[in-house]
Chains A and B, each alone.
Chain A
Amino acid sequence: MADLTNLSLEDLYNLDVVQINVLGGHTHPQGQIMFGYQYMFMDMEGIKKGEREISVAEAMLEFPTVHTKMTMEMHMFELMYAPIDRLTLMAMLPYKRMAMHHEMMGGTHFTQHADGIGDLEVMGLYTLLGDVKKGQNRLILDAGVSFPTGSVDARDHRMGDPSLPLVRLEYPMQLGSGTYDLLPGLTYLGDANKFSWGAQMLATVRLGRNENNYRFGNQYRLTTWGGYAVTDWFAPYLRLEGRWWDDVTGVDPQINRAATAEGNPDRQAGRRVDLLFGLGLFAPKGALKGTRLMVEGGFPIYEHLKGPQLGNSWILTAGASYAF
């Protein structure tokens, strides 16, 4: 029990009731604003069909060009604001950079690139049960919309050769979905002393079709985590994330469905479970007070792809946020 009687009236006047701490809060108390930035790097390598890893030669039995590696960098900008204790509003805008390495029959290799802003997501997180001030156990309804701010017309030169004409890139290389998507979800948060844990179900439900006559498959995500505050500035955590996603519906007439698996709308579905280990760092006082840093890395422990598609090798995410 802290004795705050040594603080002045002004100090008490400016003291936060719900303090941001190293364990993180997911939602915010009334009036709090948070700016966040996350950098994510994803490396995809190794071709999979079902749960089995197959060779390039085997993949070439179905498609003349095979993707051998893909990297994606994402810069995510976040803004959160809580108009009342029970409701936190959130907006997220990603900037993506992607590179896809190809191998053609005959051994030719080339790389194509795409970069630009992705889809803007706006969400509301409403506390159905529990209280942000009491902590302990809370149930939060997540409801959001993804706006099609990302392009579905990402192009690069044929075979990566600047002398050749621009062609529309395959589905996984597009920056956005091109559709308005609903983002319904449910989050459970728990904390007790130095421990925090939680689980979240979040879906991406695509509406209609985009300007290129298709829609990406719906995506469902289930994640659970547990963290422990070793000190008031350091908390490691472990997270398990499962996701599954459907095929593309419709077809973009400018993408050749016979050339690559990634260009075939019926070869996109898959499911995956990632194991991730993270470290949370927090500045409880000093000039950086209120700043939280996190680093998280992981890899799939289970992956089933309709394929032949690139499997995920590893993911690394680093982020910083500041709330006031």
Chain B
Amino acid sequence: MRFKATASGTVRACNNMSSDLTQRREGAKTQRNQMLYVRWSIGALVLLTAICLVGSATNVSAQSAVAREYEIKAAYLYNFIKYIDWPPQGLPAGSDTITIGVMGGNPFGPALATLDGKMVKNRKLVIKEAVRLEDLPSCQIVFVSPSETPRMQEILNASNEAKVLTVSEVEGFAARGGIINFIEERNKVRFEINAEAAKRKGFVISSELLKLAKVVKS
């Protein structure tokens, strides 16, 4: 029994020593791993910073979708002129400009300014902001901003006399007598055309434009 107890004690002592050694080894291994992780982390951060610095010199077209929406709408306005014929009173023969007016707040931002001075149908485009009702006869296109929704009917009535192409982005605008209304479908800018209203005012809209439009009635 005594021998067994002694042997057991010796084995336990050896086990303790071995366990200490293993723990020390494992401790050192863990420490090495932690050091490695820290180095990796620092390396990744340095790499990211370096890439950022290099990248800051390059141009990325990451921009707000709102800005893009109005770039598309501005380009549509430019294209509408090509595919629509104005009644003679709406586009006087002696004039060499086509004026796009914005009534109410300008939601286009700088997108509309890109049209300023461009030539369409041998006429120079002019952009006019803060258009009032009495300015309508001097415009060929008027974009009625959503901020003007409360007095929409008044604007539409005035535009009938002025033979101006009315464009907006307010729900139901075309159905209320406006000619073109921008809508959004499946992440794309589409448009409605009230062909009857256009015809009544003497506008001739090409079949190519009508083919892409959602035709609505008053």
A interface, CB within 8 angstroms of B? 1-5, 7-10, 12-19, 21-23, 29-32, 52-55, 57-58, 132-136, 191, 193-194, 228-232, 236, 238, 275, 277, 284, 299-301
Contacts and interface: CB of A to CB of B under 8 A. Distances in A.
Given A9-B208, A133-B66, A14 B61 contact: no
Given A52-B30, A231-B55, A135 B65 contact: yes
A29 B40 contact: no
Given A17-B184, A275-B40, A12 B76 contact: yes
A277 B42 CA distance: 12
B58 A23 contact: no
Contacts of B22: 55, 57-58
Looking at B67, B79, B83, the one whose CB has the most chain A CB atoms below 10 A away is: B79
A13 B190 contact: yes
Contacts of A10: 212
Given A9-B212, A12-B79, A194 B62 contact: yes
Looking at A5, A18, A57, the one whose CB has the most chain B CB atoms below 10 A away is: A5
A230 B72 contact: no
Nearest to A33: B186
B65 A31 contact: no
Nearest to B30: A53
6 residue pairs, one from A and one from B, having the closest CB atoms: A31-B186, A230-B55, A4-B75, A133-B65, A29-B187, A18-B65
B79 A17 contact: no
Contact of A15 (B44, B111, B113, B188): B188
25 contacts: A2-B71, A5-B118, A8-B79, A13-B188, A16-B188, A17-B68, A17-B69, A18-B65, A18-B68, A19-B68, A21-B62, A22-B60, A30-B185, A31-B186, A31-B187, A55-B22, A58-B19, A134-B65, A230-B51, A230-B60, A231-B55, A232-B60, A236-B48, A275-B40, A299-B37
A31 B190 contact: no
B1 interface: no
A47 to B, nearest CB: 10
B115 interface: yes
Contacts of A229: 55, 60, 62
A1 B67 contact: yes
B45 interface: yes
Contacts of B45: 238
Contact of B44 (A8, A31, A136, A275): A275
Contacts of B93: none
Contacts of A29: 65, 187
Contacts of A230: 51-52, 54-55, 58, 60
